[in-house]
Amino acid sequence: MSFPKIEGYIVTEKLGSGSYSTVYKAYTKVGARTIVAIKCVDKSRIKNSGSAVDNLITEIRLLKTLSHPHIVQMKNFTWDDRNIYIIMEFCCGGDLSKYIHKYGRVPEQRVLYFLQQLASALKFLREKGVVHMDLKPHNLLLHKDSNGRYVLKVADFGFAQHMSVSGARSVRGSPLYMAPEMLAGEYDARVDLWSVGVIMYECLFGKAPYSSNTFKELVDKIQKRAPIEIPPKSSISPGCRDLLTRLLRHDPDSRISYEDFFNHPYLDLEYMPSKENYEKAVSLIKQAVEWDCAGRAPDALAAYSHGLRYLVPCVGAESDADRRGALAAKLARYMERAEELKLMLRGESPRDLPAAEVSAPQEVSCQHSRANGPIANRTLACNPCVCTSAQTNSSSSENGRCSCSVAQDAGKEPSTQGQDKTNSSGSVQSSPKPSRSHFGLKRLFTRQVTLPYLDSKDSSITADQAEKKSNENDACRIT
């Protein structure tokens, strides 16, 4: 099989092909021999097709301006007498379609991990006024870095456009993932939300909701708006079910809005595992330790609580076992210290602390019920709640709740345990005295705490530029 000759690159294999283009795997001739993917568009195939030319121009224009960790990066583009070449980053893990076919039904925790990354990319596109219009598993590429962690990236912007003008449009996209309103030619940016729902459904249950034996059967289902039912024996969480059913509403006016989608408690996009959120966790935990040592217990508890909301998902998403174990051990100690501070504050009288100092966030991430999606469990793999024990990593849940409870009562009135209470009839009820903590009073009330040091380099989720470049080369290099 002959490969195209592209200046500066050596083509090694064919990755796939479409109506007008073929994608090849190649590597650079000079330097570290970094692997790239090259989309080769045959000029002879598109010269008589105005739509193909428009799609190509759209893709090149968009990829040049879109820079996001979950969007495939275009490195360069060039051309010769026969072809136009779009040079893009190579994603080592194939695409989401192959992943689904390989593993069948994807565990909900991993579906959420991918969904958070897809939503992050869509939020970025939304801010740019761009609609993809052809979202499907084939166009969601997976990059597997040197630490074995999958990163989802949105690709193939040939159908994308800016949706600043409303009105009739031509039908575009893949029918199996296409929103019902697109058949009528009247649609807007909400078509991508339907596609997300179909992708989510296929990941969870192994096939798309309108999977059909023939194209005619598929179109009939779409036109008749056949009801979409969740398989009766499915064990998805209430939060997952709520988001899925709201995405798959046939009427775009009743479909979940972009704002509600990005802010859905199950998705919890604000605290998703990312470099930025891990760095926020590091900063907050460091501040908490400083305030803790200075004796500012309420402030320290608030900072611990906020920092742990960012840290828990990042620990769970850590794919390297050694790094995850080390981070989990530190996480357990921060949890333990926050519990100590909470117990100490609960034992003090309200008049001893100003109300402003007592106020703090009411819960951390692991306090979310399963209806909202347990953040500690919504990770790359089936990681149990890392915050319960650094050694066992075992999850203990009752009614879908994580067993740990950091800062659950922060911001509430101090407990009246050990004090007499008066009921409505005027009789006095004796409250049980608080049990003695296993931490011990000396350790509990001391201002000098011994806590492990948390650093940005502790996790592969974040890395400096030199380390990041090294990881990319290690993951995608010809040797």
Show which residues are catalytic.
Answer: 134
Output the DSSP codes for 89-131. E--TT-BHHHHHHHHSSPPHHHHHHHHHHHHHHHHHHHHTTEE
Integer Cα distance of 305 and 30 in angstroms: 49
Query: Which residues have C-beta within 8 Å of that of residue 114, sequence separation ≥ 6?
Result: 96, 106, 140, 150, 152, 203
Q: Are 46 and 52 in contact (CB under 8 A)?
A: yes
Q: Are 141 and 155 in contact (CB under 8 A)?
A: yes
What kind and span of H or E run contains 241?
helix 238-247
Q: Are 340 and 476 in contact (CB under 8 A)?
A: no
What kind and span of H or E run contains 61?
helix 50-65
Output the 3-class SS for 183-212. HHCECCCCHHHHHHHHHHHHHHHCCCCCCC
Residue carrying the six token digits 């974040």 = 462
Strand segments, DSSP code E, in 90-245 are 130-131, 140-144, 150-154, 161-162
**Coil, strand, or helix at residue 461?**
coil
- Angle, CA 174 vertex, CA 170 and CA 178 arms, to 5°: 75
Q: Are 204 and 196 in contact (CB under 8 A)?
A: no
Task: Name the residue among 278, 264, 241 with its Cα closest to residue 459.
Answer: 278
Integer Cα distance of 434 and 121 in angstroms: 49
Length, in residues, of the chain: 479
Residue carrying the six token digits 């460091």 = 286
